[in-house]
């Protein structure tokens, strides 16, 4: 990886790492009497750990002049591995917290870090930002280059984005165990980690813009619109929701700029659109490249992809208030959130339909190829969970579903069924391509992973649907005298069998991911990366495709 | 001009663009998409007209139905209260004996009592009211402060050692820690207690030592609260030490801890959290709790 950098670039890398280490040292010293001090130390160790190999290879041979004539895939390769690593960590944490809910006595250490409240965000951050985020960065770099026929912009910038992003994830997860959180769901990290992510994210956006600017295709492919929407909107959401004032520069704790119902509204505008633009738009970008590629079929309808894109982008941003039905939020805001959520079903289903109709003419492949089947099932779950989301956003439905496990089931139908499945499918397509292999080491293991993932998702989602609806009904059942029929504990007792089933479903999903890791390891072991002649960026001087009017 | 081509499967033309081998068909958007866009938008328009929907600076469009979710909640609560008024008034005003004679009211007690107990009491006393070390077993029907319904109602109202101004107050002194009794004296008292109590569990070889001396110490130090006959004193919340029910445990080690360090339990007061009707329902409900068949250890 370092061999592909010139000596000058290696020196620049050292300067950047030095600045990061300095920043860590300042944080560590300022916060030495606070958990922040440990994070300062972590940043220093992280930067030093990266600087050592660069320093060791400072005088290694420089890359040849023709590096510009190949795609820059090293960051994608590392991104795939990091993504799978985070998947195992995040899914394991998920199984752990699921087991804690079923058997609370499993809290085997009487220590704050082992409590549910600290483990649970480690699960959500591990899977959403660790697994999902790394997969998005890795695939977006790959898709961007192939559909632009241009090499990534910058030599260090992609590394800065990938590694800087993982530093953010590390700060987030280690912070939870120490009790560092601003208690905003999916936005738990405190001010310094948030600021760092802004820097990384701006660099990410820059790579996209600069690479697109030198593309050798006349049009920007639809996958790139989605990736761009994901990067841009996540930046806006992240910055606004995390506006906060630190207690001091030596303390991790900060207080939000918003309070009361405004804070809740800002948080769920963020939370809902994190689902929309992180977990939907980004992964739609993934789907629009890898699904037609694997199926060998043209996209069903170019026009439909345009309508869906603008529909999703416009309508999602209004829908966040449906998370706050029947709360202190004014009624009119709830009405807007609900109606936009209802309209949102149309572009969502148009996207899912576009994906499934693309498979017309390739259903035989879907039957035989588990990789393509991962993507097909992902599109089905995307359709399913977007319908469910719109349905649950209706106030009357929400009065039953809110605060119950139905919400958890809905989120996991999307996260396991859609996000994880499209990611695994894309990774199974991408790994042989990236490591110069004809195919994955074992097609049978991909099959095993597929069935474990599908079965695990179904067990999970069905148990949470049952549990959620039962819970919701028990909370609103009155006896003849007009009193509530069930105590809260009664509903907990009723949920127990479903909690056991949910833990088993999650365990199956985790086992599938472990099978995938083994398969990927066997595929890339001993591979020497060689670039096929037909997988190269366009000649930089050739402009044949940039004639206006095409 | 990029070359469009015909897709053999669908018979559609491609758009002529190609990215890394990916092409797109120029399929028109299916009509159903527009139909559903139209339907969902029409529904939204209708809903915006009927409901509070769009902000207007300092105000918002009120909607033709005049709906307001705050008023809805108050109305629903008011209706529920009126519906319950039929029995809540009787539950609050009738003497306990009359309530117990009324099957309709007693059904309310058993139904909503179970739910109220589960939501408010079960966390300490257990779902079946069987308690645990330090938390009284209510199903044993042995009452520290008295088992008349009015007394239990008062205990629920003010709590025990709670923050309520009129709280019941009770404390077992720390005889050992505060130097009132020496260790051998405490051991003698324990032998005396275990010799006179109904159920002391596993016998202990030390039980035979100092029973008489213990009796003398008991009369001097303990009888003022627990009574000469050790049957307890309800006005002080002092437990009956002969009935075989031990709140913290009747073994020598636990009794030693109790005598050395003293005890002071805590029960919250419920006057602010529960209505009078709810507290009276709970009073009758706990009076109806039955011990597990085959003894309290079954749970």
Q: What is the pLDDT of residues A78-95, one digit of tens each?
A: 999 999 999 999 999 999
Interfacial A residues in 145-164 facing B (CB < 8 Å): 146-147, 149
Q: Is the model's pLDDT at B173 over the cut of 80?
A: yes
Element at A425 (helix H, strand E)? helix A421-434
Q: Based on the domain organization, do A145 and A29 belong to the same domain?
A: no
Q: How far apart are CA A16 and CA A12, in angstroms?
A: 6
Residue (of A12, A4, A140) closest to A68 by Cα position = A4
Q: Is A538 part of a structural domain of the chain?
A: no
Tokens 């992280």, residue located: A46
Residues of chain B with CATH 1.10.760.10: 71-166+268-298, 183-261
Q: How far apart are CA B138 and CA B144, in angstroms?
A: 10
Q: How buried is B76 (Cβ within 10 angstroms: 0-12 exposed, 13-18 middle, 19+ buried)? A: exposed
Contact between chains at A488 and B119 (C-beta distance less than 8 A): yes
Max Cα-Cα span within chain A:
85
Q: How far apart are CA A342 and CA A529, in angstroms?
A: 48
Confidence of residue A314 (pLDDT cuts 50, 70, 90): very high
Q: Token pair of B94, please?
A: 């009738």
Q: Based on the domain organization, do A208 and A115 belong to the same domain?
A: yes
State residue B2's pLDDT score: 62
Q: Can you tell me the mean pLDDT for A97-103?
A: 96
Contact between chains at B115 and A484 (C-beta distance less than 8 A): yes
Q: What angle do CA B269, B270, B274 make, to 5 degrees?
A: 175
A324 CB within 8 Å of a chain B CB: no
**Total count of domains within chain A:** 2
Q: Based on the domain organization, do A51 and A85 belong to the same domain?
A: no
Q: Token pair of A73, please?
A: 């895939």
B227 CB within 8 Å of a chain A CB: no
Most A CBs within 10 Å, among B24, B80, B108, B111, to test the A interface? B24
Could you list the residue range(s) of the whole structural domain that residue A296 is in? 73-478+487-524
* Domain B183-261 CATH class label: mainly alpha
Quick one: DSSP state of residue B47? Answer: H
Contact between chains at B21 and A293 (C-beta distance less than 8 A): yes
Q: Is A210 part of a structural domain of the chain?
A: yes
Q: Based on the domain organization, do A29 and A117 belong to the same domain?
A: no
* Segment A378-394, tens digit of pLDDT: 999 999 999 999 999 99
Q: How far apart are CA A209 and CA A206, in angstroms?
A: 5
Confidence of residue B1 (pLDDT cuts 50, 70, 90): very low
Q: Is A550 part of a structural domain of the chain?
A: no
State residue B293's pLDDT score: 73
Non-local (6+) Cβ contacts of A153 within 8 A are A206, A207, A210, A211, A213, A214
Give the count of alpha carbons within 13 A of A48, CB side only: 9
Q: How far apart are CA A298 and CA B24, in angstroms?
A: 5
Q: Cα dihedral angle (B134, B137, B138, B143), rounded to 10 degrees?
A: -70
* Segment B110-119, tens digit of pLDDT: 999 999 999 9
A486 neighbourhood in chain B, CB within 8 Å: 115, 118
Max Cα-Cα span within chain B:
114
Domain of A466, CATH number, reads 1.20.210.10
pTM here is 0.91
A484 CB within 8 Å of a chain B CB: yes
| Radius of gyration of chain A from its Cα atoms, rounded to whole angstroms | 24
Q: Can you tell me the mean pLDDT for B86-97?
A: 94
Interface predicted TM-score of the whole assembly (ipTM), two decimals: 0.89
Q: Is A184 part of a structural domain of the chain?
A: yes
What percent of chain B is modeled with pLDDT above 90?
Answer: 82
Please state which of the ranges A109-113, A123-127, A241-245, A512-516 shows the lowest mean pLDDT: A109-113
Q: Is A446 part of a structural domain of the chain?
A: yes
Packing angle of the helix pair A421-434, A74-102 (nearest 10 deg): 150
Contact A226, A282 (CB under 8 A): yes
Non-local (6+) Cβ contacts of A461 within 8 A are A409, A412, A413, A416, A417, A505
Query: Which tops the pLDDT comparison, A240 or A482?
Result: A240
Q: Based on the domain organization, do A53 and A184 belong to the same domain?
A: no
Q: Is A161 part of a structural domain of the chain?
A: yes
For the stretch B141-166, what's the b/e string if a residue is b when 16 or more beta carbons lie within 10 angstroms of its beta carbon?
A: ebbbbeeebebbbbbbbbbbbbebee
B35 neighbourhood in chain A, CB within 8 Å: none
Q: Based on the domain organization, do A86 and A121 belong to the same domain?
A: yes
Q: Is A252 part of a structural domain of the chain?
A: yes
3-state secondary structure of A13: helix
DSSP labels, B237-252: TBPPSSSS--SS--SH
B14-19/B22-25 β-pairing = antiparallel
Which residues are B14's β-sheet partners?
A: B25
Q: Based on the domain organization, do A239 and A132 belong to the same domain?
A: yes
Min distance B284 CA to chain A CA atoms (Å): 16
* Segment A16-44, tens digit of pLDDT: 999 999 999 999 999 999 999 999 999 99
Which residues are B26's β-sheet partners?
A: A301
**CA A27 to the chain's CA centroid:** 28
Confidence of residue A540 (pLDDT cuts 50, 70, 90): low
B83 neighbourhood in chain A, CB within 8 Å: 482
* Segment A258-269, tens digit of pLDDT: 999 999 999 999
* Segment A249-300, tens digit of pLDDT: 999 999 999 999 999 999 999 999 999 999 999 999 999 999 999 999 999 9
Q: Token pair of A307, please?
A: 């309508």
- Comparing CB atoms, the residue among B43, B55, B117 nearest residue A342 is B43
Tokens 């199926």, residue located: A295
Q: How far apart are CA B105 and CA B88, in angstroms?
A: 9
Q: Is the model's pLDDT at A542 over the cut of 80?
A: no
- Write down the CATH number for the domain with range B71-166+268-298: 1.10.760.10
Contact A267, A257 (CB under 8 A): no
């Amino acid at each position: 990886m370092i061999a592909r950098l010139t000596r000058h670039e290696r020196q620049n890398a050292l300067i950047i790492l030095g600045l990061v280490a300095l920043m860590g040292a300042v944080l560590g010293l300022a916060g030495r009497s606070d958990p922040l001090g440990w994070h300062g130390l972590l940043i220093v160790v992280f930067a030093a750990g990266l600087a050592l190999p660069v320093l060791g290879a400072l005088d290694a041979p420089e890359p040849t002049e023709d590096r510009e004539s190949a795609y820059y895939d090293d960051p994608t390769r590392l991104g795939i591995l990091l993504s799978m690593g985070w998947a195992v960590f995040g899914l394991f944490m998920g199984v752990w917290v699921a087991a804690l809910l079923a058997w609370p006595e499993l809290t085997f250490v009487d220590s704050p870090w082992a409590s549910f409240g600290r483990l649970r965000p480690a699960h959500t951050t591990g899977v959403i930002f660790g697994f999902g985020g790394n997969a998005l960065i890795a695939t977006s770099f790959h898709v961007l280059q192939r559909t632009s026929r241009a090499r990534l912009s910058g030599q260090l910038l992609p590394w800065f984005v990938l590694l800087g992003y993982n530093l953010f994830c590390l700060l987030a997860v280690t912070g939870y165990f120490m009790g560092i959180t601003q208690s905003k769901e999916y936005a738990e990290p405190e001010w310094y980690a948030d600021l760092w992510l802004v820097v990384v994210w701006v660099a990410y956006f820059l790579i996209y813009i600069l690479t697109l600017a030198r593309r050798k295709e006349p049009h920007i492919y639809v996958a790139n619109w989605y990736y761009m929407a994901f990067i841009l909107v996540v930046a806006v959401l992240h910055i606004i929701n995390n506006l906060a004032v630190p207690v001091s520069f030596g303390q991790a704790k900060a207080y939000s700029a918003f309070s009361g119902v405004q804070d809740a509204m800002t948080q769920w505008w963020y939370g809902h659109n994190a689902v929309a633009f992180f977990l939907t738009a980004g992964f739609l970008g993934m789907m629009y490249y890898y699904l037609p590629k694997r199926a060998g079929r043209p996209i069903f309808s170019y026009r439909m992809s345009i309508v869906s894109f603008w529909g999703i982008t416009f309508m999602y941003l209004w829908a966040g208030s449906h998370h706050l039905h029947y709360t202190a939020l004014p009624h009119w805001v709830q009405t807007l959130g609900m109606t936009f959520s209802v309209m949102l079903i149309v572009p969502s289903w148009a996207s899912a339909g576009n994906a499934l109709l693309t498979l017309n003419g390739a259903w035989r492949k879907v039957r035989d190829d588990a990789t393509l089947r991962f993507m097909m099932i992902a599109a089905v779950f995307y359709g399913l969970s977007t319908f469910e989301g719109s349905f649950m956003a209706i106030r009357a439905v929400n009065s039953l579903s809110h605060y119950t496990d139905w919400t958890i089931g809905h989120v996991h139908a999307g996260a396991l069924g859609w996000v994880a499945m499209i990611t695994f499918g894309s990774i199974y397509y991408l790994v042989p391509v990236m490591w110069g292999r004809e195919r994955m080491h074992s097609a049978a293991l991909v099959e095993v992973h597929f069935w474990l993932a599908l079965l695990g998702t179904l067990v999970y989602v069905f148990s949470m649907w049952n549990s959620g609806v039962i819970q919701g009904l028990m909370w609103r059942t009155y006896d003849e005298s007009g009193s509530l029929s069930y105590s809260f504990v009664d509903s907990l007792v009723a949920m127990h069998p479903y909690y056991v089933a949910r833990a088993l479903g999650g365990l199956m999903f985790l086992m599938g991911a472990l099978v995938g890791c083994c398969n990927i390891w066997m595929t890339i072991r001993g591979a020497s990366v060689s670039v096929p002649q037909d997988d190269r960026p366009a000649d930089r001087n050739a402009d044949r495709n940039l004639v206006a009017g095409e | 001009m990029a070359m469009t081509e015909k897709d053999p499967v669908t018979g559609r033309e491609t758009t002529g663009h190609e990215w890394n081998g990916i092409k797109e068909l120029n399929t028109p958007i299916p009509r159903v998409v527009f139909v559903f866009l139209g339907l969902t938008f029409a529904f939204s328009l209708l809903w915006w007209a009927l409901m509070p929907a769009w902000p207007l600076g300092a105000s918002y469009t009120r909607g033709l139905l005049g709906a307001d979710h705050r008023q809805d909640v108050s109305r629903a609560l008011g209706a529920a209260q009126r519906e319950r008024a039929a029995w809540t008034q009787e539950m609050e005003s009738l003497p306990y004996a009359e309530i117990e004679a009324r099957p309709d009211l007693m059904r309310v007690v058993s139904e909503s009592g179970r739910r109220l107990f589960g939501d408010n009491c079960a966390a300490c006393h257990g779902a079946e009211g069987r308690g645990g070390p330090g938390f009284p077993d209510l199903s044993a029907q042995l009452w520290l402060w008295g088992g008349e319904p009015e007394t239990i109602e008062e205990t629920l109202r003010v709590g025990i050692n709670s923050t309520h101004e009129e709280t019941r107050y009770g404390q077992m002194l720390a005889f050992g820690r505060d130097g009132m009794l020496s260790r051998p004296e405490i051991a003698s008292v324990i032998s005396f207690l275990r010799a006179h109590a109904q159920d002391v569990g596993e016998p202990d070889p030390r039980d035979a030592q100092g029973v008489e001396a213990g009796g003398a110490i008991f009369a001097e130090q303990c009888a003022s609260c627990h009574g000469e006959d050790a049957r307890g004193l309800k006005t002080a919340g002092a437990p009956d030490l002969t009935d075989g029910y031990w709140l913290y445990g009747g073994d020598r080690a636990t009794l030693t801890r109790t005598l050395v360090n003293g005890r002071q339990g805590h029960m919250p007061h419920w006057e602010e959290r529960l209505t009078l009707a709810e507290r009276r329902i709970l009073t009758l409900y706990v009076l109806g709790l039955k011990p597990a068949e085959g003894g309290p250890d079954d749970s």
